[in-house]
């Protein structure tokens, strides 16, 4: 944007110089041309600068949502459903443990009433080999969560949306439930933030266009999961 200002200043100086020489017509023309160049350049640069701000903020949110998604996935594998609140997720991280199991095949003898003999067959036996705190398990086995903790020092700000305009603090919206798929009931969750909140300090027209996007991050929210469709993916980078 600096070079736009420089161009405007140059034209202004030329105009002043022309005025001093009493070339009023030339000065007026220079002012009109300078204003035109400024407006044209600004119309080109404004979307570019908007995209730079948007992409930087979105990148932080993507990483944050992916870390939350890791916790939600482990929560479901442990409890059979997704967490509806951040209090549930935090309590899970702080207080629960994961039971690591190992499945092996074992031969057993069994009397067959049909053949009236003892037969040998193989069965699968699952043993618990370790009990690991959830936080430790997440750090060792879930890449996105581990990267978030390494960057931020801990997980305790997961519920807060990163990258907002300076001075703004906002929590993600979070929900969970289930949907019917054929004869099956499938667990679903969704964690989201409105694009308008993320870009509140930007050009309103450009924000409105972004909220109506049908490519890139589609729709007016950034989210991971979906309350209507079983998925643990984010709504970014999935072009059809």
Q: Does 64 score more than 80 pLDDT?
A: yes
- Range with the poorest average pLDDT among 18-27, 70-79, 139-148: 18-27
Separation between Cα atoms, residue 34 and residue 27, nearest integer Å: 10
Q: Does 223 score more than 50 pLDDT?
A: yes
Average pLDDT over residues 162-189: 93
Average pLDDT over residues 199-207: 94
Q: Does 22 score more than 90 pLDDT?
A: no
Average pLDDT over residues 53-81: 96
| H-state helical runs in the chain | 2-20, 24-79, 86-95, 134-141, 143-152, 195-198, 204-211
Tell me the average pLDDT of the chain: 83
Q: Does 86 score more than 80 pLDDT?
A: yes
Note the pLDDT of residue 77.
93
Separation between Cα atoms, residue 93 and residue 4, nearest integer Å: 51
Note the pLDDT of residue 55.
94
User: In the structure, what pLDDT confidence band is assigned to residue 7 with cuts at 50, 70 and 90?
Assistant: low
Separation between Cα atoms, residue 196 and residue 219, nearest integer Å: 11
The percent of residues above 70 in pLDDT, for the chain, comes to: 75
Note the pLDDT of residue 240.
41
Q: Does 83 score more than 70 pLDDT?
A: yes
Name the one residue in this structure whose structure tokens are 């140059």: 10
Note the pLDDT of residue 45.
75
Question: Which tokens go with 102?
Answer: 């190992």
More confident residue, 63 or 25: 63
Q: Please report, for residues 1, 21, 164, the alpha-carbon distance to residue 15 in angstroms, rounded to integers and kept in the order given.
A: 22, 10, 42
What pTM value is reported for the model? 0.75
- Range with the poorest average pLDDT among 24-38, 119-133, 185-199: 24-38
User: In the structure, what pLDDT confidence band is assigned to residue 127 with cuts at 50, 70 and 90?
Assistant: low
Q: Does 116 score more than 60 pLDDT?
A: yes
Are 93 and 75 a contacting pair, CB within 8 Å?
no
């Amino acid at each position: 944007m600096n070079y736009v200002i420089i161009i405007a200043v140059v034209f202004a100086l030329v105009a002043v110089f022309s005025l001093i020489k009493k070339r009023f017509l030339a000065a007026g023309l220079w002012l009109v041309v300078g204003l035109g160049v400024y407006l044209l350049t600004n119309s080109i640069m404004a979307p570019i600068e908007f995209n730079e701000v948007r992409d930087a903020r979105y990148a932080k949110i993507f990483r944050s949502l992916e870390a939350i998604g890791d916790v939600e996935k482990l929560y479901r594998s442990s409890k059979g459903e997704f967490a509806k609140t951040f209090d549930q997720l935090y309590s899970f991280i702080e207080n629960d443990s994961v039971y690591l199991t190992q499945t092996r095949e074992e031969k057993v003898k069994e009397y067959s009433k049909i053949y009236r003999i003892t037969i040998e067959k193989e069965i699968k036996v699952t043993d618990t080999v370790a009990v690991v705190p959830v936080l430790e398990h997440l750090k060792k086995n879930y890449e996105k969560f581990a990267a978030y903790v390494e960057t931020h020092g801990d997980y305790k700000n997961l519920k807060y949306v990163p990258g907002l305009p300076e001075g703004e603090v906002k929590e993600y919206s979070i929900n969970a439930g289930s949907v019917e798929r054929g004869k099956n009931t499938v667990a679903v969750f969704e964690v989201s933030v409105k694009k308008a909140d993320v870009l509140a300090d930007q050009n309103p027209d450009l924000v409105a266009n972004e909220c109506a996007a049908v490519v890139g991050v589609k729709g007016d929210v950034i989210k991971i999961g979906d309350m209507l469709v079983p998925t643990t993916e984010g709504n970014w980078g999935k072009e059809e």
